[in-house]
A and B are shown apart, each in its own frame.
Chain A
Amino acid sequence: MPALNTYIVEDSPVIRENLIATLEELAPVRVVGSAEDEYGAVQWLQQAGHPTDLVIVDIFLKSGSGLGVLRAAQALAPPRRLVVLSNYATPDMRRKCLELGAERVFDKSADIDALIGYCNGLAEAAR
C-alpha cells in the first residue's frame, strides 16, 4: 500500500504532533512536512519537488488563514487533494471551504475518525 504523501498546515504544536503520529499509525500516511501559518504553507506548496497527495489545512493559523492556503493551493499545479480540519466547521464555513476547492471539511473534535477513514479510503483508491 503506497503511502499517502501528506502536508499538514496546523498552528497548534500539540495537535500537529499528535495528528502526525495518529495518522501515520492508523492510516497509510507519510507526513512530508508541516507549516503553522499561511505564508509558510504557501511557500512550501509552491516549491517544485514536493510531491504531495493530500494537504490537511486548519482554518485558524498563527498568521493568515487556512482559506488563503486553500485559495493558493487550488491555483497550483499539480492538483492535490485538499481537506480542511477545523475547530470551526459550521455550515457556512463548510460551504466557503468547499467553494475554495476543499474536498472535505472535518471537525477537529467530532470528525477525527472520519478523517482517518477518508485517508484510508484514498490509499485504497490509489492502490
Chain B
Amino acid sequence: MKMDVITVVKRRPVVFPLILAAALSMLLISEGSYHRSVGMLDDLVEMSQARSAVHAVQQGMLEAETARLVHAATGNAEDLRLREIALKRVEQSFVQLERLHAGQPKPLAVLQRMRREAALLLSDPSQPGTQAIDGLRASSAELLQLEEQRSFTSREDLSRSLLLGRVGVALLSAVSLLALFMYLRQSFALEAQTAELQQRLQLERTRLERQVAQRTEQLTELTQHLQTAREDERNRLARDLHDELGALLTSAKLDAARIRSRLAGSAPEALERLAHLVATLDAVIALKRRITEDLRPSSLTPLGLMATLEILAREFTESAGIAVHCELAPVRLAPSAELVVYRLVQEAFTNLSKYAGATQVWLTMSTRGDRVEVTVRDDGAGFDPAAVRRSAHGLLGMRYRVEAEQGTMTLLSTPGRGTLIAVSLPAAPALRADATLTPA
C-alpha cells in the first residue's frame, strides 16, 4: 500500500505538489479570514456599545439638566436626588466609553473634552446649562462620527477579508479541477500506453506462432522430401545393382559356361581355375543379392504387398526366432504406400528384435471402408512413448512417411505390456495394374 502511494506520487510529479500547495494556502487564507472576521465583529459590537454609551451620556446630561431646572422652579428635594442619579449614570457611561476607547488617542481626546464640558455644566447647578449642553452635543456628534468612521473602515476590512476567502476558494476549486483533469489525462495516457503494449505483444506472439507453424511445416516437408529422396536413391541403387551388375555377372557366367565346354578335356588345370572363377562370381552374385534385397524389397512389385509381408514375417521368424502370427488380407494401396507399409513392418521388426525382447508378434492387414489398416503388436518389454526419443527416430521417420501418404500412425506402449503400432492409409482406387497379380 505504501509502495503504491509512492509509485503514484512518483508517476505524477506535477499534480500532487500542486494539490498539496493549493490545500495548504487555502487553509492559511481561510484561517486568517476567520480570525480577522471574528475580531472585526467584536469591534463592531464595541462600536455599537460606544454609540449607546454616547447616547446615554447625552440622555443623562439632559435628564440632569431637566431635574435641575424643575428643582429651581419647585425647590423639591426629590428633583435633586433624580439629578444625582442621572449624573451617576453619565459618569458610568464615561467610564464605559473610556474603557471602550482605550488606546485610541483621537476619541479619548474628544472624550476628555466632553468630560470637561460635563464637569463645567455640573460644577454650578444654578447656572443654566444650555450652552454647555450644546457643546456636549457637538462633542458627542464628533465622537459618533469618529465611531462611524471606524465602523466604516472595519466593514471595509471585513468585506476585503471575505473577498480574499472567496477568491481563495475559487482558486482552490480551479486548481483542484486542473489537478483532476491532469490526473485523468495521465490515467488515460497510461491506459492507452498499456493497451498499445498489449496489442504489440499480441501481434508479436501471433507472428511468432505463425513462424513456428511455418517452420514446422517446412521441417515436415523437408523430412518427407529427405525420406522420399532416400527411398528413391535406394531404389536407384538397387535397380542399378540388380540390372547392370546382375546382367554383367550373368553374362560372365554365360561366358564361363562356354569357356568350360571348350576347355573340357584339353586343359584340366585351366578348368580348375575356371571353377574357382565361377565360385568367385557366385560369391559376388550372393553379395549383390543381399545388398539389393536390403535396399529394396524385390518381391513387392511382382508378388504384391501381402505375399511380400508373409515372406518378411517368415524370414524374420527364421532369423530372430520370434513367432509371427499373420492375419493378412489382400489390400489395394498405391505403390508408394505399399513401400511405406513394408518399411514400417521392417522397422517394427528390427526394433522389437533389438529392444523389446518379445517372443510373439501379431501382424494384421485389412481393409476397413476406404482405409487400409495395418497393425504390428508384440508381447515384449514395451516402453514409455513419452520418454523414448532417440531410439524412436526410426518410428518418427515412419510417422512422417505415413503422413506423407495421407495416413495416420498410432503408437501405443506401456512398460512391461508390449507395443502396438497401428497405421491407417487411404486405399487406392479399384482396379490397379498389379491387382491382376494377386490371387483371384
Size bracket, chain B contacts: 20 to 34
Q: Say whether A65 contacts B247, CB under 8 Å.
A: no
Across the interface, name the chain B residue whose C-beta is closest to A87: B246
Indicate if A90 sits at the interface (CB-CB under 8 A).
yes
Indicate if B17 sits at the interface (CB-CB under 8 A).
no
Q: Which of A32-91 contact B (CB under 8 A)?
A: 59-60, 65-68, 87-88, 90
Contact of B258 among A12, A22, A60, A110 (CB under 8 A): A22
Q: For the complex, what is the distance from the CA of A14 to the CA of B254, rounded to whole Å?
A: 11
Q: Say whether B302 contacts A22, CB under 8 Å.
A: no
Q: Say whether B299 contacts A88, CB under 8 Å.
A: yes
A26 surroundings in chain B (CB, below 8 A) = 257-258, 261
On chain A, the number of residues with a Cβ less than 8 Å from chain B's Cβ atoms is 27
Indicate if B153 sits at the interface (CB-CB under 8 A).
no
Contact of A14 among B251, B256, B299 (CB under 8 A): B251
Across the interface, name the chain B residue whose C-beta is closest to A59: B302
Indicate if B243 sits at the interface (CB-CB under 8 A).
yes
Indicate if A104 sits at the interface (CB-CB under 8 A).
no
Residue-wise interface mask of B (35-61) relative to A, using a CB-CB cutoff of 8 A (1 in contact, 0 not):
000000000000000000000000000
Known: A93-B303, A109-B253, A112-B254. A15 touches B247 (CB 8 A): yes
Q: For the complex, what is the distance from the CA of A22 to the CA of B254, rounded to whole Å?
A: 6
Residue-wise interface mask of B (265-296) relative to A, using a CB-CB cutoff of 8 A (1 in contact, 0 not):
00000000000000001100100010000000
A88 surroundings in chain B (CB, below 8 A) = 298-299, 302
Is chain A's interface secondary structure helix, strand, loop, or mixed overall? helix
CB distance from B1 to the nearest CB of A (A): 86
Indicate if A25 sits at the interface (CB-CB under 8 A).
yes
Contact of B243 among A12, A68, A90, A112 (CB under 8 A): A12
Taking each of B243, B254, B289, B310, which has the highest tally of chain A beta carbons within 10 Å of its own beta carbon? B254
Q: For the complex, what is the distance from the CA of A12 to the CA of B253, rounded to whole Å?
A: 15
A60 surroundings in chain B (CB, below 8 A) = 242-243, 302
Q: Say whether B302 contacts A65, CB under 8 Å.
A: yes
User: Which B residues form the contact surface with A (CB < 8 A)?
Assistant: 242-243, 246-251, 253-258, 261, 281-282, 285, 289, 298-299, 301-303, 307, 310-311, 436-437
A22-B254, A112-B256 are known; give 16 further A-B pairs, CB within 8 A.
A15-B250, A15-B251, A18-B255, A25-B258, A67-B437, A87-B246, A92-B299, A92-B307, A92-B310, A93-B299, A93-B302, A96-B303, A108-B250, A109-B281, A110-B285, A112-B254
- The 5 lowest CB-CB distance pairs between A and B, nearest first, are A109-B285, A12-B247, A22-B254, A18-B254, A18-B251
